[in-house]
Amino acid sequence: MSKHAKLAGLFCLVFVLSSCTTKLEDYQATAPQLDIQQYFSGKSIAWGMVQDYSSKVTRRFCVELDGQWQGDEGVLKEVFYFADGEVTFRNWQLTKLKEGKYLGSAGDVVGKAVGQQMGFAFQWQYELLVPIDGEEVQLSLDDWMYRIDEYRVFNRTKMKKFGVTVAEITLFFDKELPVKSCQ
């Protein structure tokens, strides 16, 4: 087989595999519906981990969340407690738009986060400044949330640099009463 034929075959394989990605529309008819405004109202808690490009767990954490809404405007306060003792904060400013769409901003988010809900899923995409070795690195996040039941949401996030996945976050939200705390 010629060099050009092998290259063309490789290109076709990459094209076919890249077209096999999940789309939010795939979840349109699923239940229970994940309404971000409803789910992230009041207090909840989450536990998670970060895995590097080789799937090695590099960080574990717990998050206490408190969401407050007035009409279609909301604030979601997050306090992250990392296993190594670090504590960080993020305050999301959220806006609910029409047709299950949301916009968000936070101090470490570059520009606006854009999200949309369909069925039991919510996809949230944004650029995040992440401190690594004393520098802030801008990563692209593709954040997917899936409502499991009345109280729980499962979250998977891919963190990319130049289109290459450099880390993944797995997170499990719970708001069953009484809400637990990280400490």
Q: DSSP label at 8? A: H
CA trace torsion 49, 56, 168, 105 (10° rounding): 50
| Local structure of residue 99 (DSSP, 8 states) | T
Residue 179 lies in a domain: no
Q: Give residue 133's domain range.
A: 23-174
Is 129 contained in some domain?
Answer: yes
Q: Does residue 16 lie in a domain region?
A: no
Report the pLDDT value the prediction gives residue 21, as an integer from 0 to 100.
75
Q: Is residue 133 domain-resident?
A: yes
In a domain, 53, yes or no: yes
Residue 3 in domain: no
10-residue mean pLDDT series, the chain (183 residues)? 52 45 88 95 97 97 98 98 97 96 97 97 97 94 97 98 97 93 90
CA neighbours closer than 13 Å in the CB half-sphere of residue 140 = 7
The count of structural domains within the chain is 1
DSSP string, 86-143: -EEEEEEEEEE-STTEEEEE-TTEEEEEEEEEETTEEEEEEEEEEEETTEEEEEEEEE
Entry pTM: 0.86
The whole-number pLDDT of residue 14 equals 42
Domain-embedded: residue 77: yes
Residue 148 CA, chain-centre distance (Å), reads 16
CATH of the domain at 31: 2.40.128.20
The rounded Cα 170 to chain-centroid distance in angstroms is: 9
Residue 126 lies in a domain: yes
**How would you classify residue 26: left for phi > 0, otherwise alpha for psi between -120 and 50, otherwise beta?**
alpha
